[in-house]
Amino acid sequence: MGYRNLRSCLDDLEKHGQLKRISTEVDPYLEVGLIQRLVYRNGGPALLFTNVKGTKFPMAGNIFGTMERTRFIFRDALPVIETLVKAKLNPKELLKKPSSLFRLPKGAYNLLPKTVSTGAVTENTCALSDLPQFLSWSMDGGGFITLPLVYTESLEGGYKNSNLGMYRVQISGNDYLPDECGLHYQIHRGIGIHHTQAEQSGEKLRVNVFIGGAPSLTLAAVMPLPEGMPEVSFAGVLGGHRIPFVKHSNMLPMPAESDFVISGTIDPKAVKPEGPFGDHVGYYSLQHDFPVMKVDKVWHRNDAVFPFTSVGRPPQEDTSFGEFIHELTGDLIPAVLPGIKAVHAVDAAGVHPLLLAIGSERYTPYEKLTEPKEILTQANAVLGQGQLSLAKYLFIANHYDDQSLDIHRPEKFLRHMLERVDWRRDLHFQTSVTIDTLDYTGHGLNKGSKVVIAAAGDKVRKLHCDVPENVILPTGFSKPAAVMDGVLVIEGPKCYSERGKADKVIQNFCESIELDRPINEFPLIVIVDDGEFASASIDNFLWVTFTRSNPATDIYGIGSYVDCKHFGCEGALVIDARMKPFHAPALELDAAVERKVMDMAAKGGPLEGLF
């Protein structure tokens, strides 16, 4: 039951027509990543590149490129996980089908990893430079492992005190020595606790980086598991078998069936510049000091395959992870966050920047609901929950206002909000907090702001979709266009504002428009660099608006005021979503590489029919 290693998974995908072998030589510098992204966009198969320039190891990508394939890979485990989730939610449900109880002991048994004396991963060793030097984007700082499973243990040691996370690993470039690699982990990650313990004790932190192996380990590493549930245990449930680990003296355990394991240590004080790296929000994460790992040994099995993914502006392959995780755990949301019906990190907006949530107003059912009450409390709970705390914008609605509301339909959700929101009352800021490490809109690395926008009660306005003919804009602003009902994008002049400072140009824009002007018929106005691009689709609008703005510095309003430290506005809310001088650059394709790859996809070429 379940795949024991990556090779058996790839063989099974190929047997079922879900994998394509590519024997033509391909370059891990830009070519492989672009091919994978194009195949993903076309809903294509998993890819096995058997002739990779500069390395003897084949590379496998797009393994989780469709939801159907992801479900197929974990098909054996789904009934057990469903049973466990139901047991958590409502044990009475299990009594309706007593036969499902028999699945529980087996699932629980597989939670415990097992120790073995030897394994395939210990068959060979190599140098970091022997691994594929994979670069997705032209400004990447060196070769990266993009599906690394980084394993650490607390000072107490043992599986129950372990953390397995997917933190990117840079294996070449910058100032790294041949036996060093950079370990980029972001805030709110479990490894940080272990690193802190090591630093406080003055000891080196031992680290193992697993590559490949059982697919269940890969998914477990990105699961938002409750504290105290080791990822290696959940991998056993996902894989349908106890995960075997090899342990040598004075070393951390290694999955016996991994394709590669990089073993080493981190000196708690040792850092080196890591990056840049073209990241999943659609921009580069820039070069910053991150922990550097001193490599003792790189292990690999005889038939090792190097798995990878290429990220960029969503959707990409990692979108499947998010969707699949939601399928597995979505029903647990009300148990973890009482009153919350659903939460969705919007993929098109870069995931972390924008959360949509549905709460429930239950405080005073004997009164007519005229404003948000309980959902404000629930919003604070959402922003205090794990990686949800990294969000910048949280839109929260009341379930009882429209029980058909769907968090996975952002346009309809935002329309519902804009019909009800009162900008004088319903904006709630946190002006100096942590945000996602990959977000450069704030006032420093990991530093920024948040806003909760809550709406509850009856509709207070009718939304318009036609731009009034008599709209007069201040000098430098042009091309007003309706993206959707109630939302207007306007092209603005180039931004020159300083980090952490309000922009006088946008302030003047708001101050120059009277409240009785027709433009205020649109409750939300977004200032952008390229109006045609931002208004071309709802996905473009979401990406531009929420990846290029920081609530505290980039939210303005027509007829705005501050009363008792509460910001509100009488007219339209204005978001400045222009690129700022301090923002990270957006990802762009290398034209020459794009032409070469497209030529390979022409009729008779090795990539014909893939995209």
Give the tens place of pLDDT for each residue, 222-278.
987 766 778 998 899 888 889 999 987 778 999 999 999 999 999 988 999 999 999
Residues 540-549 have pLDDT tens digits of: 999 999 999 9
Q: Residue 130 pLDDT > 70, yes or no?
A: yes
High-pLDDT (> 70) share of the chain, %: 95
High-pLDDT (> 90) share of the chain, %: 77
For residues 12 and 81, what is the distance between their CA atoms, to the nearest angstrom?
Answer: 22
Q: Write the CA distances from 298 to 59, 249, 304, 486, integer angstroms.
A: 17, 16, 12, 56
pLDDT tier at 190 (50, 70, 90 boundaries)?
confident
Of the listed ranges 26-35, 109-118, 443-452, 507-516, the one predicted with least confidence: 109-118
Higher pLDDT, 86 or 549: 549
Mean pLDDT of 575-603: 97
- Which pLDDT score, from 0 to 100, does residue 309 have? 97
pLDDT tier at 85 (50, 70, 90 boundaries)?
low
Nearest to 133 by CA among 32, 246, 21, 213: 32
Nearest to 430 by CA among 385, 392, 384, 378: 392
Quote the tokens at residue 414. 């935002």
Q: Residue 280 pLDDT > 80, yes or no?
A: yes
Q: Angle at the Cα of 162 (from 292 to 352), degrees rounded to 5?
A: 70
For residues 283 and 292, what is the distance between their CA atoms, to the nearest angstrom?
Answer: 23
The DSSP symbol for 483 reads E
Q: Model pTM greater than 0.85? A: yes
pLDDT tier at 101 (50, 70, 90 boundaries)?
very low
Mean pLDDT of 408-429: 97
Residues 195-232 have pLDDT tens digits of: 888 888 889 999 999 999 999 999 999 987 766 778 99
Residues 294-350 have pLDDT tens digits of: 999 999 999 999 999 999 999 999 998 888 888 887 777 888 899 999 999 999 999
What contacts 179, CB < 8 A, 6 or more positions away?
A: 127, 128, 294, 295
User: Which element (helix H / strand E) includes 490?
Assistant: strand 487-491
Nearest to 350 by CA among 427, 431, 439, 285: 439
Q: Residue 45 pLDDT > 50, yes or no?
A: yes
Q: Residue 1 pLDDT > 70, yes or no?
A: no
For residues 137 and 130, what is the distance between their CA atoms, to the nearest angstrom?
Answer: 21
Mean pLDDT of 483-487: 97
What contacts 436, CB < 8 A, 6 or more positions away?
A: 186, 187, 281, 352, 353, 390, 392, 446
Nearest to 176 by CA among 284, 295, 277: 295
pLDDT tier at 105 (50, 70, 90 boundaries)?
low
- Which pLDDT score, from 0 to 100, does residue 467 have? 93
Whether cis (ω within 30° of 0) applies to the bond prior to 276 is yes
SS3 at position 357: strand
For residues 31 and 512, what is the distance between their CA atoms, to the nearest angstrom?
Answer: 50
Mean pLDDT taken over the chain: 92
- Which pLDDT score, from 0 to 100, does residue 96 have? 57
Domains and CATH numbers, the chain: 6-73+110-307 (2.30.110.10), 330-455 (3.40.1670.10)
**Across 330-477, where does the E strand assignment appear?**
342-345, 354-359, 393-398, 427-434, 447-455
